[in-house]
Chains A and B, each alone.
Chain A
Amino acid sequence: TQLLEQSPQFLSIQEGENLTVYCNSSSVFSSLQWYRQEPGEGPVLLVTVVTGGEVKKLKRLTFQFGDARKDSSLHITAAQPGDTGLYLCAGKGGGADGLTFGKGTHLIIQP
């Protein structure tokens, strides 16, 4: 069974600060996706990383896939209250058709 561990589970910081969220596994994934989910809504895809060592940027968000494709990180620069939400990493691979999700990081950005 493939497992994804996300840390931290909860994070509350002030507007303007930087933060990093981690997603780790002992399994290799063919790709890894990051989603943002707001209360009462479905997850919305932010990015997909496929190649080991790959770095992708989405405005103030920087995503990195580990060289061994077992881990990933999400770094947010100058966080804003609009960044508040549940951030989920999800891996695809091992022959599974669906996604294996981490438990998520609940992020609160205080003005």
Chain B
Amino acid sequence: DAMVIQNPRYQVTQFGKPVTLSCSQTLNHNVMYWYQQKSSQAPKLLFHYYDKDFNNEADTPDNFQSRRPNTSFCFLDIRSPGLGDAAMYLCATSRESGTNTDTQYFGPGTRLTVL
């Protein structure tokens, strides 16, 4: 049974055209994360929500925004995608963020192509 679901799996957008990626979870976890993974690179944390509290990484561009309307769903909005934003976007969840052994569960990712 899928626990972290990402839609769509593949997204194509045009340069400058806003795009929204979706993540949902059936685990009832408190924390939801968004990572960006470019080709042959490590996943990089963009931001995360602890319940309704939004936590942005210092080097995440303003072009990237996020919304979490409820526990189950979290969205990644890219306001004006550039060619450099083409990447795999990974959503992850965890029960708590502050413990050493807290496990993050990843979704299958959405591969974004910018034309």
Binding site for B on A (CB under 8 A): 4, 30-31, 33, 35, 40-45, 48, 50, 88, 92-93, 96-99, 101-104
Contact = CB atoms under 8 A, between A and B. Distances in A.
A50 B102 CA distance: 11
B48 interface: yes
A31 B100 contact: yes
Interface in B28-62: 31, 33, 35, 40-45, 48, 50, 55, 57
B97 to A, nearest CB: 4
Contact of A41 (B48, B103, B109): B109
Interface residues of B, number: 31
Contacts of A40: 9, 108-109, 111
Contacts of A103: 40-42
Report the 6 A-B pairs with minimum CB-CB distance, sorted nearest first.
A98-B45, A42-B106, A101-B42, A97-B97, A31-B100, A30-B100
Contacts of A30: 100
A44 B106 contact: yes
Nearest to B41: A103
Interface of B: 4, 6, 9, 31, 33, 35, 40-45, 48, 50, 55, 57, 90, 92, 97-98, 100-109, 111
Contacts of B111: 40
A22 B70 CA distance: 39
- The residue in B6, B42, B98 that gathers the most chain A C-beta atoms within 10 A of its C-beta is B42
A100 B108 CA distance: 19
A104 B101 contact: no
A96 to B, nearest CB: 8
